[in-house]
C-alpha cells in the first residue's frame, strides 16, 4: 500500500500499488486495477491520485530524445521536468512556449492538464505547441499521435488528465528568445475597475500579463506585463538558490490575520514602473520557496480557480 498526495495535501489517497516507470520501451506492468500516471504531483486537486488503483510514477522517464537547436523542436520522455528543459534550452536561446507558475512539473503532467501560462491571450495552452506524442494504452497498444496520426487521440490526451493512457514521450516546439531576461512594466491598481482599465491598455500589447490581486483588500493589486528582452550590456542575474520550508506545522500558518499582514506588505513593497528582470522569478515566484505547501499545515488546502467575465 502506498499513499499519494496532491500539491494541496488533501485528499490523502491510498493507492493499492505504485510502480516506477523507468523505460519508455517497456510494456506496462500487468494489472487488474485501473492505472494512472503521476508526474511531479503539482496538481492541487485529486487528478494525479488513483484510489485503489495502480499509480505509475513517471519521474524516472527523464531522458531527452532529440533537440534541434536550429528549429527549437524538442523530443523528450514524459517525466522530464520543465526545469530540465529550461536548463537545456535556455543557454541555446530557446524557451518554453507556455509555462505554468512552477517549473517543477513534468512534460506528461503539462500535457495531461493542458496547462496555461501568462501568455494565454497570445499563445493559448501548452497543447497548442505539442507536435506529437506517444500514448501507451492499458491494452498494450502504442499510438503515435500528431496532427496527422491519430489526431483524435491527440486531442483527447491534451487536457485528458491521464485518462487516455500513459504518455511516454512528447515532441514540443520551443520559442526563440535572445536573452534570459524580460522587460517588465508594473502598475499598481486600487480596485478591479482600475485593473480592467490597465488590462485593456497593456494586456494585448505585451506577450505576458499577470496580476496579483488582494482579495482581502477590496481588489487592489499589482499588474505586470512583460516581453522577452533584447541583448543589453548589463543583464539581470539569475535568482539565488531556492530556500525550503522545512517543517510540518500542526495547523495552517495561513489565516485571515497573517494573510492581511502579508498582503499589506506585498502591496506596499517598492515596485519599479518598468525594468529588466531575469525570467525565472517572473515566471516562477513561488519556486523561490520549495515545499511552501507545507505552510498550510497537516490538513492541507484547496485551491479554487475560475474565469470571470469583465462585466456582469
Ligand X SMILES: Cc1cc2nc3c(=O)[nH]c(=O)nc-3n(C[C@H](O)[C@H](O)[C@H](O)COP(=O)(O)OP(=O)(O)OC[C@H]3O[C@@H](n4cnc5c(N)ncnc54)[C@H](O)[C@@H]3O)c2cc1C
User: Which positions lie near ligand X, rule CB under 6 A?
Assistant: 7, 36-43, 47-48, 58, 78, 100-102, 105-106, 108-110, 112-113, 115-117, 161-162, 166-167, 286
Give min distance, CB of 34 to ligand X, in A: 11
C-alpha cell at 131: 507536435
- List 221's β-bridge partners, or say none: 189, 213
Neighbours of 28 (CB within 10 A): 17
Name which of 34 and 91 has its Cβ closer to ligand X: 34
Give min distance, CB of 190 to ligand X, in A: 25
In the DSSP assignment, the letter for residue 159 is T
User: What is the distance between the terminal CA atoms of the chain, rounded to a whole angstrom?
Assistant: 49
Name which of 93 and 239 has its Cβ closer to ligand X: 239
Name which of 198 and 210 has its Cβ closer to ligand X: 210
Give min distance, CB of 286 to ligand X, in A: 4
Name which of 117 and 300 has its Cβ closer to ligand X: 117
C-alpha cell at 150: 491519430
Give min distance, CB of 303 to ligand X, in A: 8
Name which of 9 and 70 has its Cβ closer to ligand X: 9
Q: Which residues of 43-64 are buried (b: 16+ CB within 10 A; e: fewer)?
A: bbbebbbbeebbbbbbbebbee
C-alpha count within 13 angstroms, C-beta hemisphere, residue 230: 0
Give min distance, CB of 203 to ligand X, in A: 16
Characterize the bridge pairing of strands 54-57 and 35-38: parallel
Name which of 165 and 236 has its Cβ closer to ligand X: 165
Give min distance, CB of 117 to ligand X, in A: 6
Return d(Cα 130, Cα 156) in angstroms, integer: 13
Amino acid at each position: 500500500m502506498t499513499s499519494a498526495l496532491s500539491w494541496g495535501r488533501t485528499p490523502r489517497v491510498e493507492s493499492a500499488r505504485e510502480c516506477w516507470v523507468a523505460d519508455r520501451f517497456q510494456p506496462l506492468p500487468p494489472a487488474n486495477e485501473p492505472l494512472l500516471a503521476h508526474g511531479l504531483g503539482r496538481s492541487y486537486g485529486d487528478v494525479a491520485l488513483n484510489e485503489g488503483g495502480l499509480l505509475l510514477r513517471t519521474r524516472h522517464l527523464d531522458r531527452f530524445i532529440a533537440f534541434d537547436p536550429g528549429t527549437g523542436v524538442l523530443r523528450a520522455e514524459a517525466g522530464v521536468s520543465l526545469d530540465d528543459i529550461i536548463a537545456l534550452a535556455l543557454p541555446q536561446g530557446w524557451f518554453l512556449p507556455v509555462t505554468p507558475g512552477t517549473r517543477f512539473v513534468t512534460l506528461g503532467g503539462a500535457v495531461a492538464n493542458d496547462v496555461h501560462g501568462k501568455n494565454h491571450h497570445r499563445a493559448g495552452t501548452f497543447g497548442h505547441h505539442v507536435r506529437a506524442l506517444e500514448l501507451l494504452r492499458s491494452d498494450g497498444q502504442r499510438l503515435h499521435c500528431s496532427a496527422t496520426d491519430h489526431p483524435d487521440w491527440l486531442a483527447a490526451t491534451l487536457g485528458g488528465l491521464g485518462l487516455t493512457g500513459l504518455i511516454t514521450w512528447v515532441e514540443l516546439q520551443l520559442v526563440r528568445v535572445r536573452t534570459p531576461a524580460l522587460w517588465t512594466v508594473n502598475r499598481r491598481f486600487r480596485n478591479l475597475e482600475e485593473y480592467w482599465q490597465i488590462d485593456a491598455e497593456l494586456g494585448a500589447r505585451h506577450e505576458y500579463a499577470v496580476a496579483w490581486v488582494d482579495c482581502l483588500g477590496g481588489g487592489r493589486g499589482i499588474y505586470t506585463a512583460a516581453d522577452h528582452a533584447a541583448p543589453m550590456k548589463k543583464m539581470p542575474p539569475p535568482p539565488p538558490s531556492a530556500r525550503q520550508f522545512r517543517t510540518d506545522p500542526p495547523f495552517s500558518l495561513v489565516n485571515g490575520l497573517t494573510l492581511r499582514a502579508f498582503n499589506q506588505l506585498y502591496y506596499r513593497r517598492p515596485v519599479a514602473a518598468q525594468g529588466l528582470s531575469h525570467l525565472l522569478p517572473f515566471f516562477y515566484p513561488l519556486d523561490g520557496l520549495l515545499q511552501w505547501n507545507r505552510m498550510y499545515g497537516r490538513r492541507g488546502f484547496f485551491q479554487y480557480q475560475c474565469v470571470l467575465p469583465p462585466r456582469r
